[in-house]
Chain A
Amino acid sequence: MTRKIGAPLLLVILAVLLFFLSLQFGVIHLHTSALSLIGKGGSVDAATVWDVRFPRALGAVVIGAAMAIAGALAQGIFRNPLAEPTLIGLTSGATLGTIIGIATGFAGYGSGRNCLTATLGVAAAALITQVLAPNKNFGFLLTGIALASIFTSISGLIISISHQAGIQSLSFWNFGSLSLINFSTVRVITPFIAVGIAIAFFIARGMNLWSLGETNAYFLGINIRKFRLLAILAIALLIGPSVSAVGSIAFLGLLVPHVVRLILGPDHRNLILLSGILGSIVLLIADFLARAAFQPHEVPLGLLTSLLGAPVLIFLLRSRRSQWVSE
């Protein structure tokens, strides 16, 4: 019981500390404490903190939570411990949706329309994977991986031939970076993500039943089709806008829920809350490292999450301590 209150509390404190750290440190050296700049403007320091670092840290909190919760939902709804949105093509679906939106001139980067096309991209990817995947051992995962490379290739093709201004380079979409985020992007994506998180909490209890399999969930009164659609909608609302703003950030959705399950067990009600907080923390750290570790260069933070997350994936594949047993 103490764990169930203590862990979230500890993580929230950590998140606040990291948030402050993100405001204080970066390429530009501040002459005063970021805290002393609250409510002040005018100076270079103030502009650095409020116009650049603050929206960026806010973006890390929102998007980190979104991607980690989406990972927890994807693993739960597809009943697969490796169903990470990047791995199974959902993120590529978001990228493709974003790029189609931008390339056709329907949506500008960071706009609400862009969130919409990205969300549709995720939902389409999830449904296509679901329909095409053969019901065998790794059928689902491999289908997702195959679809991911199809979506990525199409995105690359479109980027190569598009003359649309504002279409970012392929590496931005593949390796994710918070460098383009500003207040307006955060304002646009947050309502989408908030709805996604609300749905996630709404279906958390049902996700527990769902872990017994669709048929058993149905025995216990769950409308299978509606429930799955709701989960996919939540995942799409979480992943789509995030990717449209910062590109694909790999492994966050894999890493975080597994760590939370190890600490607190598999109950989705805790899992979703804690994954959200821990996701924010991991992305704050990753973005901080991306900005600070290789100065004066800034590296795409998706590279860092991959470097951190891929070994975890290998560990999980070899470990029995992942809280999942195979069927």
Chain B
Amino acid sequence: MGERIMIEIQNVSIIRDEKRVLSNFSGQIQLRQATLISGPNGAGKSSLVSAIAGVLAPASGGIRINNQDPYAVSAPHLARLRSVAPQRRNFVLAFTVDEVLNFVPKSLRASNAEPFIHALGLDELKQKKVTELSIGQQQRVSLGLALTQDAEFYLLDEPFDAQDAHYQAQIVELISELKKSKGVLVVSHNTDALHPYFDQEIVLS
């Protein structure tokens, strides 16, 4: 079996704020698939994403992205392996949306992000200050920023959360498009309508 491109999670336990939020979890996330992580609040969904993203080291167990340890590779290298859209980003400075979408360094920039930016309705927001946007709009900017980064895997934490039906549909569409060449991991607590669009669901309890 040759080198398969995937994220491997082996017996991972995560402790956050002195509480065990995930115990001995194992799983695989494949390239060219959309994986849904669901479960109730406090099930450790976001913690698992943080652990894969390289910012919350597991208390035990191991994570590999393309056979590489996210805690051992350099930050720029890791940025090529995974791109992250966290649940919230704190925009403290009054950058325009256009400026934020240009944050990604040229060496890391995805060449085909324009359609995604368009689908997220960010074209008409480009000259707006990001600090003056609604939560939902900010979330779409955050998503847009993650999609302008060229990586193997995209980790999207609650991307549907503050969106109306129109943009939820747009994001679902975008994930289907993205997974043609990338791996997509989506965390959502509200998954009823989403199942048909995902290849795999991991339910955390």
Interface string of A130-163 (1 = CB under 8 A from B): 0000000000000000000000000000000000
Would A209 and B103 be within 8 Å (CB), given that A267-B95, A325-B92, A327-B90 are in contact? yes
* B44 sits at the interface (CB 8 A): no
B90, A212: Cβ atoms under 8 Å?
yes
Would A218 and B89 be within 8 Å (CB), given that A208-B99, A266-B95 are in contact? no
Considering the complex, give the chain B residue whose CB is closest to the CB of A326.
B92
Indicate the size class of the contact surface on chain A.
Answer: 20 to 34
A residues near B89, Cβ cutoff 8 Å: 212-213, 216
A residues near B105, Cβ cutoff 8 Å: 205, 220-221
* B93 sits at the interface (CB 8 A): yes
A residues near B92, Cβ cutoff 8 Å: 79, 211, 324-327
A residues near B80, Cβ cutoff 8 Å: 221
Which of B79, B86, B96, B131 sits near A221, CB closer than 8 Å?
B79
Would A211 and B108 be within 8 Å (CB), given that A219-B83, A220-B79 are in contact? no
A219, B91: Cβ atoms under 8 Å?
no
Interface of B, secondary structure class, is mixed
- Least Cβ distance of A319 to chain B in Å? 13
Which of B74, B86, B95 sits near A219, CB closer than 8 Å?
B86
* B76 sits at the interface (CB 8 A): yes
**How many cross-chain pairs have Cβ atoms below 8 Å apart between A and B?**
75
B76, A221: Cβ atoms under 8 Å?
yes
* B53 sits at the interface (CB 8 A): yes
B residues near A327, Cβ cutoff 8 Å: 90, 92
Interface of A, secondary structure class, is loop
Would A216 and B86 be within 8 Å (CB), given that A208-B95, A265-B96 are in contact? yes
Residues of B in contact (CB 8 Å), total: 29
Considering the complex, give the chain A residue whose CB is closest to the CB of B106.
A205
A219, B84: Cβ atoms under 8 Å?
yes
Would A323 and B79 be within 8 Å (CB), given that A209-B103, A215-B55 are in contact? no
B75, A211: Cβ atoms under 8 Å?
no
Q: How far is the CA of A205 from the CA of B89 in the complex (A)?
A: 18
Interface string of A215-238 (1 = CB under 8 A from B): 110111111100000000000000
B residues near A220, Cβ cutoff 8 Å: 79, 103-105, 108, 145, 149
Q: How far is the CA of A216 from the CA of B92 in the complex (A)?
A: 13
Q: How far is the CA of A311 from the CA of B94 in the complex (A)?
A: 23
- Least Cβ distance of B49 to chain A in Å? 11
Interface string of B62-105 (1 = CB under 8 A from A): 00000000000011101110011010011111111001000111
* B54 sits at the interface (CB 8 A): yes
Which of A79, A221, A325, A326 sits near B75, CB closer than 8 Å?
A221
B residues near A221, Cβ cutoff 8 Å: 75-76, 78-80, 105, 108, 149
B94, A265: Cβ atoms under 8 Å?
yes
Q: How far is the CA of A222 from the CA of B76 in the complex (A)?
A: 6
Q: How far is the CA of A265 from the CA of B145 in the complex (A)?
A: 19
Report A170-227 residues with CB < 8 Å from chain B CB: 205, 208-209, 211-213, 215-216, 218-224
Report A100-141 residues with CB < 8 Å from chain B CB: none
B residues near A267, Cβ cutoff 8 Å: 95, 99
B74, A223: Cβ atoms under 8 Å?
yes
Report B110-150 residues with CB < 8 Å from chain A CB: 131, 145-146, 149
